[in-house]
Structure formats: structure tokens, C-alpha cells
Structure 1
């Protein structure tokens, strides 16, 4: 055991995450050309990283535990495609490992990093094992002894990268998933050292440094907090209040209640909403839910017992799905998978007590599974590989059956088209 007393601060963590984003800005197009991890894995992981770094721009929290949780929430909610979901799970594990810490020692951060690797491994159940998970396991093994020896975090990352290089030689450098894991580690190390070599987002100087033509992370701002409360004031102008709330939310609903109004919205600044609401009248029943973590979704006066949710890549397909009986449609395609946030927000609409979510492309599967992890029994999945299978599954849907019963018969119908 060495006498290393290095402390990793919130500022260090910001640089590491920004470094990872910077690295993906350099690598995402090359990753898109590689096999594995679905269609456009580089773009999906870059946009997931964009969602992860955006909460760092305006936060007042400088603790490594608080920042890691904000990054995890952004990544979990903004995850796109299989690669994005795996990366988001790594951030989730990292956030769990740093929970409650203002600063972290190298050993504490190294253990949290290993925790993140473990979360990433759990998210992909398919066999045979995918290269991104093979690489993650080798990286974790490589970092283990460095963590045990209380090495500085830069040495832990260097050891992990060396292990990753050996693993890459075995799985093949052309695998997109393996390259994503390797690029993430390299980016974290460069960020920690301040060695940026790409047009990275400047969290201190603003986003104007972003080069034209690159995906803009401002398009991936996530609002992962569901806020519900009642305002005791019958004089509140509902339309004006709803319009105001929509300025800083992705979903806002104001409904008349017996003594005032009920408010339901999704935001990234719950404190700001509640602070403003104090001026509207006495508040009661305040509930704040982090939708990027597993939670119970309580339906209020749902219109339907069970509803269908599917993904459409254009207006033509959306119309076809509506004609087939799909009630909720999210936007997504092979080139741009829907984010976890888009799917969760749809389920939070209170249209139904339960939802059957139908996918027609394997690239959607991990995001759908992530929604199931977050919302639990309210969600059932029917994961198809083609639009033909999805059409057969939708045709088998029966509104008189429960979500569980529907999922069974719909999967059987999809299987029959193979």
C-alpha cells in the first residue's frame, strides 16, 4: 500500500466527463463505420454523452457525488441505442459508488469506476457475450490491482487502458462496442490531465466553441424530474400558467381541482418550479420523482386500462400505426433511435394504467428494456425485429386483456411471422 493521498474533486470529475465527450466528438464518425453495437453507434453514444454533460453547465453543486448523480440522470434519460444505454449504466454505477461524497480518494473513485463497469455488464443479457462487455471485464480486472495498490487515478486509468488495448487485440479493433469503451477511458484520462484535442464543450465559457455541423448537446437537454403539486387558488389562469411552465419543461399539465389547480410537469430544475409556485398560492402534496431511476408511476384518472406505444420513423408510418390502433407514438428510426426520455415521458401522460411497448428494430430494444427497468409493472415489452412482426403483434392486441396478457399473445403472433 502506498502513501497516495490524492483527492478527486468535482472539478476533476467535470474535466473527465468533458474529456470523454471530447473524445467521442473525434471518434463518433469512425465508430459509425464499424460493425457491432447496432446502427449509428457513434452518433447514439455521442448524443448520450451530450445529455450527460449538459447538467454540468448550470449546476451550483461542486461535490463529486452530486455531479456524478446529475451526469448519471442525464445519461440514463438521454440514452439512445444499445451503446448509449450501456454507457448510461456505467455512469449510473459510478454515481452510486460516489453517492454522498464531496471529494473522493483515488481508491474510492477507482472502486466507483469498477462499480460502473459492473452496472454496464448487467445491461446486456444476450449470449454470446458482446465485445463491449468483454472489454469492460478486462478493463475492470486491469484496474483492480491499481485500485488495491492505492495508485493515483491517472495511473488507474492508464492501467485500465493498457488492459483495454490487450483486449482490443483479441476482440478486434473494428468492433464498435469495444472501441466505444476504449475511447471513453482515453477521454476520461485526457480530460483529467486537461489534454483536450478536439472542439470540446466549454462548461466555463459556454457552448459557442462547438463547431458547426457537429451534434449540438443543447438538443439533448434532459428534464428527468417529475414534479407534481396542488395550488390552492381558484383564481389561477390555467392557460397562462401552463404556457409559463412549458418554457422550462418538456411536459406540463395544469388541471382544475376543487380548491385550485393540480400541476404535473417534467423539468431539470424542480427547485426553480417550486420556488415560483410559492407565489401562485398555498402549495400542498408536493412530489418530486427522479424518472431516470426506478420508480412507481401512479396513474391519476387514466382514460384506458392498457394502451399501445410504438415508434414511427416518419409521418407515413405514424399514420399507419394510428390506423392499426396504436395510441402513443414516439419518434425514432434506424439512424436515430428514440431516447429513453421520449419513451418514459409518453408513459407519464396518464393515458392508461399500463402500457405495451412494441419495437420493430433491435436498436430500440435496450432503450425499451431501460424503460421497463424504470417503470416496472406498468410496462410490458414486445420486442420485434421487423415491421412485419410488429404489425402482426399489434393486430393481436385486445384492449379487454391486461398488459401482461396482451404481451403474451402479441409475442406469439410476432413469432408466427418469422
Structure 2
């Protein structure tokens, strides 16, 4: 097809994302039973989708580029489990391809989809040709040919799905990762056509029809903006001010600073936070960091040089970790993994100059790696395969050494039998 003049709008994009979420609502329990993407990959990917769709519920932006950026930010920061990280990278590629556009042509949107598939493929461990890698290559190829032929976006999606299905038929194997990619593509196609019925999310992203046991996306809202500023009024009632800021924030620190107060918080509405604050005194030294993008984490009055951070699945394990010297505990398990947001937010707490993030399960590895990609050199990783390895690693910690030196020594200790 040549001369295609189709335009994809922000409203079209909203329907596609809503359609994808709807499809995962229908498929996540089936995906949970499949192998190839860790424990309960369906739940992890559904919660990642929840973090992605929630920024759309009250957004005023109509541009496809702006909406794609918001969705990507929510997915990247709210990603859970290895499956969630891979899905988030698809949204990251979409956001990159649509950046700065109010509307997009089919060709532009198709190329953005190719970006998403390639970004997802990059983070998948490639030690062997798994079904998801085979599928990703085939889907990218199918999308490429359809984009080159200037086909409408619905036909680009159909071509990607058809090519992927043919390739999987050749190898005769579908794992959880492959099913997740198919579910995403088919959901986007249904959303674009308006041909779907969601058990929990309508086209307007209403959330009233929640089913028992189904993850509620309202619990997965992320606050990706780190905001710091000072208020030039030493007479501020800090407790009342903090309570007001809590309305739009997940973390708030208010403390005296010179002839005023310093504020450090994490929010999804930086503009509303500043607007709330102007009545308390003169606002200055405002710094806003999008924590879902790669950024430098600057220390502000850290208490110790190096802190250890780990994931605990219950109070008993948390207490044991604290007794072993681990400083920061994030709640999570292989069935209910921690989000990237929880790890990055912990590193933004100003507790230490640098952080050692220690994992005791492969199910956390991609989440930890994504957190490090966002925060950079102030975080080092010690990726263990089980709790015994983690215990050996923690015993090797030396507070007199740097985070990088400790990461190397602790990794060696973990690998010793």
C-alpha cells in the first residue's frame, strides 16, 4: 500500500495502551503458569502495565509524544520482575520513537514499535536462543517490511504478529516471554480498533469494576520526580507543611536549613507540589529530577559512605538481614517482586554516599540492573542466585572499602561453595 496518509493521535495511543492492559488482565493468570520468565511473570507484567496506564487517568496532554513519554516513565519506574523490565523497555522504545510529536504517521509509529522491540530484546539475557529472542527478531522483521511498504499501523501490527506466529510454529515452543509479547501486540491492535472489553479498565480508564484477587493499578502508581527546593521562611509549621505535601508525594523530608527550610520529596505532580508550597514562603533553588531516566545521584548530607540494600520477603528475613549488617530493606519476594521505583527511591534517601544492592534471586536481576542504569555510578550490584550466596556476600562486606571494591569482593565470596 502506498500513499498512506493515516495519522495516529494521542487518543489512539491511549486506546492502544488501554487495550494492552485489558489483554493482560485476561491473560496474566495463564502467563503465570508458563515457564521462561521467572516466578509469576503474568502478575509482574500486569503490575508493570498498571504503573504505565495510571499516568493517563487525568493527564491534560493530547500529544502522542507526551503521552508515550509519560507511559514509558511509569513503566520503567514501576517495572517488576524480569518480565516487567522487558515490557518497560518496549514502552521506552515507543517513547523514544514518538518523542516531540503531536501526532504520528503510520510509518513513524511503526518505526517506534521497532524501537520498542529492539530495546526489549537488548535486556533479555542472550546466553541461548530462547523463544522470546526468536520471536523478537521475527516480530521486528515483520514490522520492518510493513513499515517499508507504508502500511497502516493496524496492518503493521498484524504483520508483526503473523511473522512472529510463523516463527514460533517452526520451533514448536512458546514460553512466558513469547506469550507476553504476543499479548502486548494483540492488545494494542484491539485497543486501536476499539475491539476489546476490559474487566477493570474502560477506554476512559475507569477502575470501578475491580475483580477480587486482581492487582489494582492504583497500588502501582509511581512518583518518578525527585523535587528539591528551599522555602525562605523559618517560621513554617514543618509538620503541617509536610502533611500537605504528602497528598501528592510518596516520600517527604522537610528540615531546617539556614533561614528557611529544605524540602526533598518524590512525586508524580511536581507542578502541583510547587504550587502548594508558594504560600508558605519564597521558593528558591528548585531542582527537579526524573528518576525514571538516567541521572546522576548527588549525595546530600549522607550519614555513611557505603550502605547495603537488599530485598526481604517477610519480617523474619528482614530482621536477619538487619542483624547481618544490611542497612536498607525493601519488601518483596519472587512472587511479588520489588519495583525499580522502590530501589531507586531508596538510593535517593540520602542515607549513604553509595549503595550496594544485593539480590538473592535471579527474578530480581533485571530489576536491579535497570535501577543501576538509572542511578549510575553511586550504585553497585551484587547479583546472587540464592539466599546462601547472599549471606556469604554480606559477610565479605568491608565498610572501609568503596562500593565498587566491595561489589567485586562480595561477588567472589558469593560464588565460593
TM above 0.5: yes
In structure 2, do the counterparts of structure 1 residues 41 and 170 end up closer, same or farther at CA, with 3 Å as the change threshold? farther
CA distance in 1, matches of 2:385, 2:22: 33
Structure 1 counterpart of 2:329: 329
- Whether 1:375 aligns to 2:375 is yes
Q: Distance in 2 between matches of 1:157 and 1:204?
A: 23
Task: Tell me the equivalent position of 1:416.
Answer: 416
Matched, 1:248 2:211: no
Distance 1:226 1:172 in 2: 47
> CA shift at 1:172, angstroms?
4.0
Distance 1:146 1:174, change over 3 A: closer
Q: In structure 2, how many angstroms separate the alpha carbons of the residues matched to 1:409 and 1:88?
A: 32
Residue 386 of structure 1 pairs with residue 375 of structure 2: no
Unaligned runs of 5+ in 2: none
- State the alpha-carbon separation in 1 of the partners of residues 171 and 132 from structure 2: 9
| Distance across 2 between alignment mates of 1:177 and 1:205 | 26
TM-score, scaled relative to structure 1: 0.98
CA distances 1:179-208 after superposition (whole Å, capped 9, x unpaired): 000110000000000011331412526211
Residue 45 of structure 1 corresponds to: 45
The equivalences for 1:127-138 within 5 A come to 127-138=127-138
CA contact (8 A) 2:52 2:75 kept: yes
Q: 1:31 to 1:367 in 2, by over 3 A?
A: same
For residues 16-415 of structure 1, the aligned pairs below 5 Å read 16-202=16-202, 204=204, 206-415=206-415
Describe the shift of the 1:13–1:284 C-alpha distance in structure 2 as closer, same or farther (beyond 3 A): same
CA offsets 1:354-406 (integer angstroms, 9 cap, x no match): 00110000000000000110011001000000100000000100111000000
- 2:305–2:354 Cα contact (<8 Å) kept: yes
* Number of equivalent positions: 417
Tell me the alpha carbon deviations over residues 94-135 of structure 1, each in whole angstroms, 9 at most, x when there is no partner. Answer: 101100100000000000110111111111244113322221
1:171 Cα deviation from its structure 2 partner: 4.4
Structure 1: segments with no counterpart, 5+ residues:
none
Q: Return 217-226 or 161-170, whichever deviates more.
A: 161-170
Cα distance in 2, alignment partners of residues 203 and 279 from structure 1: 38
Give the alignment's TM-score, normalised by structure 2. 0.98
Stretch of structure 1 that moved more, 276-285 or 249-258: 276-285
Q: Could you tell me whether the CA contact under 8 Å between 1:57 and 1:203 is conserved in 2?
A: no
SS at match of 2:141: helix
Contact 1:19 1:200 in 2 (8 A): no
- Deviation of residue 173 (structure 1)? 4.6
Which whole-Å deviations, capped at 9, do the CAs of 1:40-92 have from their partners, x for residues lacking one?
00000000001000000010001100000000000001101111000001101
Q: Is the 8 A contact 2:55 2:71 kept in 1?
A: yes
Indicate if the aligned counterparts of 2:107 and 2:151 stay in contact, CA closer than 8 A: yes
Q: Does the 8 Å CA contact 1:81/1:363 hold for their aligned counterparts? A: yes
CA distance in 1, matches of 2:210, 2:3: 41
Q: Secondary structure at the match of 1:219?
A: helix
2:57–2:205: 8 Å Cα contact kept in structure 1? no
Distance (whole Å) between structure 1 residues aligned to residue 39 and residue 337 of structure 2? 9
CA distance in 2, matches of 1:189, 1:128: 30
Distance of 2:205 and 2:245 partners within structure 1: 28
Alignment RMSD: 1.1
Q: Answer with 391-400 or 240-249: which moved more.
A: 240-249
Give the 3-state SS of the residue equivalent to 1:264 in structure 2: strand
State the SS of the aligned residue for 2:57.
Answer: helix
Q: In structure 2, do the counterparts of structure 1 residues 172 and 235 end up closer, same or farther at CA, with 3 Å as the change threshold? A: farther
